[in-house]
Amino acid sequence: MHPRAQQLIDALGLKPHPEGGWYRQVYKSEERVMRMRDGAERSAITTIYFLLVAGTESAPHVVQSDEVWHFYEGDPLELMIGDERVALDADHRVHVVPARVLQSARPLGAYTFVGCSVGPGFEFDDFELRGA
């Protein structure tokens, strides 16, 4: 593992994520909102740190809310959204994955450190891992 990736895991207290990589929730709004399509109540927004290293990936999955990916540092990230491929890097730092769209991601080098903000906020009940 790249030394900087290990430093991030240790310094930020990142834990293994079920879809792959390491994460830590850094914000969960106390404001509650109702999702219009199904009436589910959620936090208004949640945000995590997310780290992927060479040989790991964010496995194909679906989230029931819009997800905004934020690039922080490291090598570019390849984000697969349905059939589209997008690279997040120092020149393209933010990309939105619409709710209920299949997505996955992988680092294009030693490590990629990003953040993900979800609104209405993320709950594991709204997360579905899919086969590769």
Write down the domain spans for the chain. Answer: 3-129
d(CA 99, CA 118): 9
- Identify the band that residue 132 occupies on the pLDDT scale cut at 50, 70 and 90: low
The pLDDT tens digits for 62-75 are: 999 999 999 999 99
Question: Which fold is adopted by the domain 3-129?
Answer: Jelly Rolls (2.60.120)
Q: Is 72 left (phi over 0), alpha (psi -120 to 50) or beta?
A: alpha
pLDDT higher than 90, residue 37: no
How far apart are alpha carbons 33 and 62 in whole angstroms?
Answer: 20
pTM greater than the 0.85 cutoff: yes
Q: In whole angstroms, what is the distance from residue 87 CA to residue 55 CA?
A: 17
Q: What is the DSSP string of 67-79?
A: EEEEEEEES-EEE
DSSP 89: B
